[in-house]
Every structure is written in C-alpha cells, then in structure tokens.
Amino acid sequence: MNGNNFINNSNNYSISNKLKVGVITNAYPFTFCRDDGKKKGLLIEIWEKIARKNQLDFEYICIDPKLTYDKIIEDIYENKYDLVLGDFSVNYKRWQKILFSRPYFVARIDVSRKVNSGITKIISNKWIILLISLCFFLIIVYSIIYMKINKSSFSNAFYNNFINFFTNMKEVLIKDRSSANIKFLNVFWSIMRYLFYAMITAQIIRILVDPEDFITKKEFESIKEINVMEGTSFIDMVKSLGKTPIINKSYEEIINKLKNSNGNVYWLSDKYTQNRINIKYDYELKLTTTKNTIFLDENAIAINKKHSDLLHKINNTLTELQDDYSINSICSTYFNNLTDILSCRL
C-alpha cells in the first residue's frame, strides 16, 4: 500500500522506507493467509484502515507459524519488524521490550476439559441432523409411492404420510406387499420411526437428568496441571493461579490429549478457540469450562519501541474507528456470536 512517508519521532528516527509489518499467518480470525497468499483477517482490515487514514507506506512480512510469540517479541525488539499484527496478549513482561496499541479485542480466558457426560457424547448434533434428514427423505419417498397407488396429489400424499410418521406407531401406510421394494420400505419406515422417537426421548432425558457439565469451584481447586501453548502469555496466567503449566508445541498436541482423556486433562485458552473446537470436533470432542471467566486478555498491535509517534497515530485512529462503529462492523463479518462481537472494543 502506497502513501506519504511518516517522518520524525521523539527519538529522531525517520521512517523513510516502507514500514515492515509482520503478520502472524495462523491467528484466525485476527490474521491469516488465504490459499492465494493474500493476508486477511479482522486485524488486517483494521490496520489497512489505519494505514490509509495516516498515509503510511508499508509491506507485509509473513512470520513463520512455528515461531513462538516470545520469539516474535524478541524479533520486534531487535528491529526485524516495525510492528506485528496478530493476537498478541498485553502483559508487563512484554511491555518492557515493545509498545502495544490500545486493545482491539478483549478475549475471555477459561480452563476447559473434555465433557464427562455419556449421553451428551452419544447424542451428537451431526447424528440428530442426519436422522431428521433421513426421516424427511423417507416421508417424501413414501408420499410419491402413495400418490401413484392412490392417485392423489403430492401435497395430500405428503400430508397423510407426514401425519402418519409422527402419530401412527403400528399401521403401515402402504398395504401392497407384493413388491420386495415395498416390504423393504415398510421395514425401513418402522425402524426410522422408532429411532426418531428414541432420539426425542433421549433428548428429554438429557435435559432432565443430564445437566450442563461445568468445572466446579471444588474441581478447579483440585487441578494441579494445566496445558498451554508454548511461548504464550497463558504460561504466566497458569502460574498466577498456583498451577503447573504443561507446555505444548501445537494445538494438535493439546487436542489429542483432550480426546484421549477421561475429563482429567485441562487446557487454558480463550472462549472463541474453545467454541471452534466444539464445532470442528463435534462428535469426537466436547469441551466444558469454568462457569465464570478467569481472565480478560487484551489483544493489541505489537509495535517497536522506536515508533512512539506511530503508536500515537495508531491509537487515535483506533479510537475513531471505534467511535464510528467501523471496528464492530468488521468484527460482525468474522464472528457470529454477539458476545464475541462486543469483545471487539477499546
């Protein structure tokens, strides 16, 4: 992106060349790279508005996803980057080496573990959707056959079969049993109907006798070890809780531990990541958390200390973008949950 040069700060440093803007490429939805190489994300859009407003000339530099956040902080300190875009947590230890902008997102941090509930594990949303889809497909097939046999309209056939499926447990609608196909459909009809009623019964049982499985205060106090990602601020958070951090090099390592556990492996992470895990691993893994948020983690742009004047311009523009609801508008394109959208604040 081209613009006027940004010059002269309190340290007598001149930005006469393009700003070197590092991008963490695997911090979805804040910063990430598409298959075509384009940089996208919530923070990318915010930064480009800031750069356009202040006529900043810059170039993106993709950061190796294998690098830890602590290493990236060191690289900023050693002038490899002028600033870095990503999901950086603001803390005192990092403040000693770099500058941070006003926060653009406030993450809610909780301890999570695998859900213990047997019923919740068995009744997955995927299976419910599949069963309902099969039921409606069967009703349509029966309606077509009924329409041909009884020479009625499809709407009348569909209505009769729809009512029959949900109300008649014994009588089979299609009486012509001379065809093997009809016999198979009759058997399949009966099986699907009983499965549907079993699903409804199980759902009612889950609501009545299988309450939400939260990590209680007593359970939280008994926790000794909590898994965290290598080189993140979560390590210090776990230590502040009086627990031992178990360092992991990748999310896959943590996910596998959680999958293979009996609800006795714990993980410190943000709500958004936990929700994504629940959606991605619907049947294989369900996470539950502490009922109340443990930490509020501010995410901000990481800036080289020699750019104190640039920090001032970034903060002023962030405030303007918040005041005219631009940041909330950008957030709404990446988050479906209202709570996450409201977390995009200064």
- Position of tokens 């303007």? 320
Element (DSSP H or E) covering residue 125: helix 125-150
- CA end-to-end distance (rounded Å), the chain: 26
Which of 33-42, 63-72, 199-208, 274-283: highest mean pLDDT?
A: 63-72
One domain, residues 282 and 328: no
Whether residue 12 lies inside any domain: the answer is no
One domain, residues 285 and 302: no
pLDDT tens digit string along 83-121? Answer: 999 988 888 889 999 999 999 888 889 999 988 655 444
Out of 186, 209, 232, a domain closes at 209
Whether residue 7 lies inside any domain: the answer is no
Whether residue 3 lies inside any domain: the answer is no
- What pLDDT does 137 receive? 78
Whether residue 140 lies inside any domain: the answer is yes
**Domain containing residue 152: CATH number:** 1.10.287
Element (DSSP H or E) covering residue 306: none
Q: What are phi and psi of 89, to 5 degrees?
A: -85, 140
CA distance 99 to 23: 16
Out of 192, 209, 226, a domain closes at 209
Which tokens hold the place of 224? 């000794």
Whether residue 185 lies inside any domain: the answer is yes
Whether residue 1 lies inside any domain: the answer is no
Whether residue 157 lies inside any domain: the answer is yes
- What pLDDT does 167 receive? 61
For 63, residues 6+ apart whose C-beta sits below 8 A from its C-beta are 22, 23, 24, 25, 72, 84, 86
CA distance 343 to 8: 34
Q: What are phi and psi of 200, to 5 degrees?
A: -60, -45
Out of 248, 265, 289, a domain closes at 289
Q: Which domain holds residue 276?
A: 112-117+213-289
Element (DSSP H or E) covering residue 245: strand 244-248
Report how many domains make up the chain: 3
Question: HSE on the CB side for 130, CA within 13 Å?
Answer: 7
pLDDT tens digit string along 4-27? Answer: 343 333 333 334 478 999 999 888
CA distance 41 to 89: 17
CA distance 81 to 60: 10
pLDDT tens digit string along 212-251? Answer: 568 888 899 999 999 998 888 899 999 999 999 999 988 8
One domain, residues 309 and 334: yes
**Domain containing residue 48: CATH number:** 3.40.190.10
pLDDT tens digit string along 284-300? Answer: 688 888 888 898 888 99
CB atoms within 10 A of CB 8: 11
More confident site: 232 or 180 = 232
Element (DSSP H or E) covering residue 170: none
CB atoms within 10 A of CB 212: 9
For 125, residues 6+ apart whose C-beta sits below 8 A from its C-beta are 282
pLDDT tens digit string along 312-326? Answer: 999 999 999 988 888
CB atoms within 10 A of CB 250: 12
One domain, residues 205 and 139: yes
Whether residue 8 lies inside any domain: the answer is no
Question: HSE on the CB side for 6, CA within 13 Å?
Answer: 25
Average pLDDT, the chain: 79
CA distance 48 to 290: 37
One domain, residues 91 and 144: no
